[in-house]
Amino acid sequence: AQKITQTQPGMFVQEKEAVTLDCTYDTSDPSYGLFWYKQPSSGEMIFLIYQGSYDQQNATEGRYSLNFQKARKSANLVISASQLGDSAMYFCAMRGPMDTGRRALTFGSGTRLQVQP
Amino acid sequence: DTAVSQTPKYLVTQMGNDKSIKCEQNLGHDTMYWYKQDSKKFLKIMFSYNNKELIINETVPNRFSPKSPDKAHLNLHINSLELGDSAVYFCASSLIGEEQFFGPGTRLTVL
């Protein structure tokens, strides 16, 4: 079974500073995918970044980067130069192997990030 | 253009009623999903479906049933609604291995 753990229920960061949101995972599958989603107070789920288990390099998307440490089974999200609009709930999620029916995402409990001016 | 749409956005109903939530995607994706987000913001898969396979989370009561008239639609039908069904329900879609795109969510309140 897959499991995602986010140990930070809430985080504060000053505007323009960087912040790391922690995510650890557990799976017995050699092939899997890791995702981060943002959920602002308006409620929609916004895809941020993806890391495949066989990807050699850490994923980056603009101000978002994923610090993937396979041996430690961690996939932390780093947001650089925080903006007020980054205040939201952030979810780490995992998908199983692509060649099975287990494409559905398993989510962590989320981290609520508040960016302070 | 809306990628994944859901209707209605809000649904308030009485216990015991039957209701449906509709979902449509115009992305040409091959797989669609229903997730439930509870009051503590925890998201859990309910169903995943493509034209070959329906995967049901075993914890989902059989009062919940997905119905897919075609590849672009996956509706959620709920019988005999209970208070505990109150939640936000998200539809999502994806292609093999790629990120899932979520609809705006339907907030269901059972009175």
Q: What is the pLDDT of residues B13-48, one digit of tens each?
A: 999 999 999 999 999 998 999 999 999 999 999 998
Q: Do A104 and B94 touch (CB under 8 A)?
A: no
Please name the member of A39, A45, A101 whose beta carbon is closest to the beta carbon of B55: A101
The Cα–Cα gap between A45 and A83 comes to 18
Contacts of A50 in chain B (CB under 8 A): 98-99
Predicted confidence (pLDDT) per residue in A82-105, tens digit: 999 999 999 999 998 776 667 889
Nearest CB to B43; choose among A98, A101, A107? A107
CA distance A1 to chain B (A): 13
pLDDT in tens, B65-84: 999 888 899 999 999 999 99
Express each pLDDT in A21-42 by its tens digit: 999 999 998 889 999 999 999 9
Q: Identify the pLDDT of residue A9.
A: 96
Looking at the complex, report in whole angstroms how far the Cα of residue A75 sits from the nearest Cα belonging to chain B: 16
pLDDT value of position A99? 65
Tokens in use for B56?
Answer: 């049901």
Kindly tell me the burial class for residue B57, based on how many C-beta atoms sit within 10 Å of its own C-beta (0-12, 13-18, 19 or more): middle
What pLDDT score does A101 carry? 65
> Cβ(B37)–Cβ(B88) under 8 Å?
yes
